[in-house]
Amino acid sequence: MQEMLVGIEGLFISAFISSTIAPGGSEAVLAYMVAEGNYQIEQLVIVATIGNTLGAMTTWILGLLAAKKFPVATLLPEKKRKALDIVRKRGIWALFFSWLPLVGDALCFAGGWLRLPLLPACLIILSGKFARYAAIAWVFI
């Protein structure tokens, strides 16, 4: 039982870190754990989704805090300015794609910077993350 808890905790930590400013490989961790067959797939997908969503919301909050301290968008690096333009143009629904490598973190940061509503932003981010992890789990069953 302890080994299973450590595995689930490891997946959560990997998913959380993968969705903040640090690169990570939560998809590989999930795929390995699904293929190993020692865990309920639903539990793995839910834990990874929650961890990754909380990491994304941390980045969203960092964007919100940065906007308060540095309100001029021209101070942002080019990657974050591009994400800001995407979120301005596409609106809150752009956050569904927060699971994408490289641009996903910037989209979450932009969502916070633009002060998009917290609960809808969280739900849309969660939906995208869940869809990605469910697809990965399905492939590795």
User: What is the per-residue pLDDT across 93-129, written as a single tens digit (0 to 9) for each?
Assistant: 999 999 998 889 999 999 999 999 999 999 999 999 9
**Number of domains forming the structure of the chain:** 1
pLDDT digits (tens, 9 = 90+) for 77-87: 777 788 888 99
Residue 5 pLDDT exceeds 50? no
Report the distance separating Cα 140 and Cα 31, nearest Å: 6
* Predicted structure pTM score: 0.89
pLDDT digits (tens, 9 = 90+) for 40-85: 999 999 999 999 999 999 999 999 999 988 876 667 777 778 888 8
Is the C-alpha dihedral spanning 71, 94, 132, 43 positive or negative? positive
**8 A C-beta contact, residue 51 and residue 66:** no
Of 53, 61, 46, 45, which is closest to residue 104 (Cα–Cα)? 53
**8 A C-beta contact, residue 103 and residue 81:** no
Report the distance separating Cα 76 and Cα 80, nearest Å: 6
Q: What is the pLDDT at residue 133?
A: 97
The range of the structural domain enclosing residue 89 comes to 2-140
* H or E element that contains 139: helix 118-140
Residue type, 88: R
Q: What is the pLDDT at residue 111?
A: 95
Cα separations in angstroms, 12 against 7, 36, 52: 9, 17, 8
Residues 6+ apart with CB under 8 A from 58: 16, 19, 20
